[in-house]
Each structure stands twice: as C-alpha cells, then as structure tokens.
Amino acid sequence: MLRLCRARRATVQTRSVIEVERLTVRPDRVVCDVVVAPGAPRCSSPLLADHIRAAFPDVPSHACVNDDGDTFGAVLERTSLPHVLEHLVISLLARAEAASARGAGDGMVFVGTTEWTDEFAGRARVEVSFTDDLVALRAFRDATHFLNDAVLTCSP
C-alpha cells in the first residue's frame, strides 16, 4: 500500500497547478501572465495558508489592498493563487535585497498587482517591481515552483 501511495504522489507532483505563460521585463516591473490548470483549485485554503506561513513568515504582514484588511494575512486563506504568487515573489525579492550589499539599510519596498485577465479560463496577470531583473525572474521561478508543490502537498 505504501508503494502505491508513493507512485501516485510522484505522478501528481509532475502536474503544474499554476504555470507561467509569459514573462515581460519592463523598466519598472516584471509582468507575468499565468494560467491555473483546469480543475485545479483557483484559491488558497486554510491548510495552504498554514504551509505558506511556515515557509514565508513575512507574507501575512505584507501591505495589501483588499476588502478585509490592510495586510495580505486578512485574505491569505481565501485569495486567488495568482495573488498568492505575487506575494511570494515579493517576499523572495525582499529576501534577496536584504542579502545583497545594496540592500543594507536602504529599505527597498517592492509592490505588485494581480488581476484576472480571464477568470473563466484561469488566466491572470501578476506585476511586481524589482531592482534587478535577473533576481526578479528567479523569484518568479522559485515562487511558482514553491506554490505548485505547496498546493499539491496541501490538497486532500
């Protein structure tokens, strides 16, 4: 029985829940078009939120314009996966900035937006500011990978 569960889990992990379709680097931001796979969850859940809090403890305190509060934590348990991706990218950018020499004490604030471009088809656009385009592209890659693994890990 254990062998069957491992085989099934390995198959599920190869499927992407959210995929980057296009990344465009503009002078002031990276624009990322994503698609949520058909049949995949489109929104976060309390279990996924707990998983995110454990790996990214700063994310709930991010400033966020939403109907429920002033922080991302107010909606973390029930927001769109592209919106979660935005905040994971911002967290990774802030970590990279803090670790770099230029990040020492300058207090760079990263900002982003997320909007459905075709909610029925699961398509969204995530835009995030950056200081280094290569770091931003890596942050999108790593955040997408983390989110895909987290959604699959936290799915019933």
Summarize the confidence of residues 55-72 as an average pLDDT. 94
Summarize the confidence of residues 97-114 as an average pLDDT. 77
Is the confidence at residue 7, as pLDDT, over 90? no
Is the confidence at residue 2, as pLDDT, over 50? no
Summarize the confidence of residues 61-77 as an average pLDDT. 94
Q: How many CB atoms lie within 10 A of CB 72?
A: 24
Residue 28: burial class (beta carbons within 10 Å; 0-12, 13-18, 19+)? exposed
> pLDDT confidence of 98, banded at 50, 70, 90?
confident
Measured in degrees and rounded to the nearest 5, phi and psi for residue 27 equal -60, -30
Q: Which residue has the higher pLDDT, 8 or 147?
A: 147
Nearest in space to 123 (alpha carbons), one of 131, 114, 132: 114
Which of helix, strand or coil describes residue 36? strand
Cβ–Cβ < 8 Å for 70, 64: yes
For residue 41, the model assigns a pLDDT of 93
Tokens linked to 101 = 């020499």
